[in-house]
Structure 1
């Protein structure tokens, strides 16, 4: 089986998107499949070159002409055009059995055009709808003209693809509602590699001391600071949390679009040493920061994106036997069973965040009792071997004999 994957971006860039992609490729190769890899212009290269990263070779696509980059609709079409030209050249060289295009829809449009010309079936994998991600990031106005255009393009792509895969049940239901037969949509859920988390590091006393956490109960968030993550709600809840549990400190590791506004909010609330912004850390050091955290919290806001899409981070926390506290939006409910594998609290309310944290601190044995069930769930059910195995019937149905 020879698969040509089309990604938005890839390693060595670090994001939840690239980590999922890397896990898929490693597991597909472990199954004996031959994978090839193409990235779109977002990778940030001006040359149509190849790059070897962690034993994988990626074909890179040059960026569109500079004059197109400030004109939204023209920019999007230019991305499709340059990607389609690069994809067709690579596909003619590789002769894949399947082209597998991953979000966003611009990748699918290029893949569908090339697939039709060359007679190669196309799988389109949706990790989030382009229109919802853009609205959450502030690029599109929700239900505005560009949002509706993007939604139309997504709907056309899922109807035209030979098969559709997606990461969770919420997205699957939405895809089916757009007129795609249920049998043509397969869920390939986010997962973990149990071996990667089999030997978690002990807390580093020196690192803990340097962050002012030596005698603290540490609540943590490690990831990108996007508005939908709800970190503003978490900061809003911190005065009430500290009033009820003075030993609690919040450790925020990472960065992103909301970092400056979050720092300003923390200053406005006079949170002082209660909140530690550790900044971005090298990927090889992330495990050291995970080891400092006593419980992870994911207070995502309720909105269409978070109701439909499941994150990866809570699974990684469970794999390291860390308690997980999360808002009860749809994407979390697919991952976390309240009172069994984690603790859920009402979304969008700082008081609910404060109550959940205070209850966790006051009843540590109750939270500890969840860890074994959560660990079994991720290491027996939510493994990449289980998830990636679901591609076999999808590819097998489409590949030429």
Structure 2
């Protein structure tokens, strides 16, 4: 295996994702931001992503507000949907797209490193470029035996350097799942956010003049937190609640369910580049995930999530109220960087909102959260930590 010194410029990295670009998926934001951070650190980065009907790679990156550009390869069938964020068929994601990546890898000069989070694509890449070092990024525990068998094969591949994980619970569960792989190296590398421009102007969000603005950004599928937002809006009618995100179907459903609430304002999906302006317009930001969530295809998850919105909230410099869940406590500290409350206790959520009428507490929380983000949770810090880990791991295995 070739030794990689990722602390020296410039390492050629192929980032293999399974995300549709552009899309509503949080994963698409994560892969774009990580690639931008790696490029900002001086590396030569190529992102492989699933085609979603937009051929112009620069236009796609523009929708994410990318400032440090990298190479974007949009592969697979052009998935056509009536609304942005449709997932397409399982065949495209699990078979057609990985085969398209394999064909592209055969045409291109081999990189110094394969880094990815899409299992099927990583498997074919390991077979196509068996001598190229690879690192796998873990976001959740795989739910079926076939995928776990595939991961086991990947972990034992001769070019496998190690795996990064976005939260401690992922690492703990993988250690329990694969106790027989004694040399399985797992490295904690949390997600992050970029600090917005100091001159950023808040978006024009409407609502009642003088009313406090509580914001929620994210998807609206079950368990993500819209249940809490709607319940609070019904209870605290003096506050305006602003919801940014959601598919057309989810928005229609929630509008029908909350039509009588004049203080609940839906803004719909906005491109990621515009999200900071919406956050800047808010007085308080809500991160109310439930212990169990369901994705757009109905799959349960939640216990392994490291919500991107929390890092974006910290970067925005606004006070945060969040669900008191294990993966949230890995990021936020109660009464230090946020108020943490039981996920489904509406009395506690309402009390927390009233507590944040205290300007002294509000200032302390938002200042501490922003400082913690700048010090530990920017995408650049993650990119530096990951490349440092890769360098050290490569040296160790080369001995």
Normalising TM by the smaller chain, what interval?
0.7 to 0.9
- Cα contact 1:98–1:398 (8 A) shared by 2: no
Higher relative contact order (CA 8 A, sep 6+): 2
Q: How does 1:187-336 map to 2 (within 5 A)?
A: 187-194=188-195, 196-201=196-201, 203=202, 207-208=204-205, 211-242=206-237, 247-256=238-247, 258-267=250-259, 270-271=260-261, 273-303=262-292, 305-336=301-332
* CA displacement 1:113-147 (0-9 Å, x = unmatched): 3243xx2222111233454xxxxxxxxxxxxxxx5
* CA displacement 1:246-267 (0-9 Å, x = unmatched): x211111111263233222213
- Cα contact 1:64–1:79 (8 A) shared by 2: no
CA distance in structure 2 between the partners assigned to 1:280 and 1:291 by the alignment = 17
TM-score (ref. length: structure 1): 0.78
- Cα contact 1:163–1:394 (8 A) shared by 2: no
Q: How many residues align?
A: 360
Compare the two structures and name the one with the higher helix fraction. 1
- Deviation for aligned residue 1:65: 12
- Cα contact 1:315–1:378 (8 A) shared by 2: yes
- Cα contact 2:14–2:114 (8 A) shared by 1: yes
CA distance in structure 1 between the partners assigned to 2:234 and 2:367 by the alignment = 32
- Cα contact 2:223–2:290 (8 A) shared by 1: yes
Is 1:44 matched with 2:43? no
- Cα contact 2:34–2:383 (8 A) shared by 1: yes
Determine helix, strand or coil for the equivalent of 2:76: coil
Is 1:170 matched with 2:169? yes
Q: How does 1:2-401 map to 2 (within 5 A)?
A: 2-9=12-19, 11-13=21-23, 15-40=25-50, 43-44=51-52, 51-52=57-58, 54=61, 55-63=69-77, 75=91, 79-80=94-95, 82-84=97-99, 86-103=101-118, 105-116=119-130, 119-129=131-141, 131=143, 147=144, 149-150=146-147, 152-154=149-151, 157-158=154-155, 160=157, 161-179=160-178, 180-181=181-182, 184-194=185-195, 196-201=196-201, 203=202, 207-208=204-205, 211-242=206-237, 247-256=238-247, 258-267=250-259, 270-271=260-261, 273-303=262-292, 305-361=301-357, 363-396=358-391, 397-398=393-394
**Structure 2: unaligned runs, 5 residues or longer:** 1-10, 62-68, 81-86, 293-299
- Deviation for aligned residue 1:88: 4.7
CA distance in structure 2 between the partners assigned to 1:234 and 1:316 by the alignment = 18
- Deviation for aligned residue 1:157: 4.3
CA distance in structure 1 between the partners assigned to 2:319 and 2:97 by the alignment = 46
- Deviation for aligned residue 1:86: 3.2
Determine helix, strand or coil for the equivalent of 1:124: strand
CA 1:221/1:70 → structure 2, altered by over 3 Å: closer, same or farther? closer
- Deviation for aligned residue 1:328: 0.9
CA 1:283/1:114 → structure 2, altered by over 3 Å: closer, same or farther? same
CA distance in structure 2 between the partners assigned to 1:223 and 1:4 by the alignment = 28
CA 1:106/1:31 → structure 2, altered by over 3 Å: closer, same or farther? same
CA distance in structure 2 between the partners assigned to 1:188 and 1:79 by the alignment = 26
* CA displacement 1:258-294 (0-9 Å, x = unmatched): 3233222213xx32x1211122234454333222210
- Cα contact 1:241–1:357 (8 A) shared by 2: no
- Deviation for aligned residue 1:359: 3.2
The alignment yields a C-alpha RMSD, in angstroms, of 3.2
- Cα contact 1:122–1:163 (8 A) shared by 2: yes
- Corresponding residue of 1:143: none
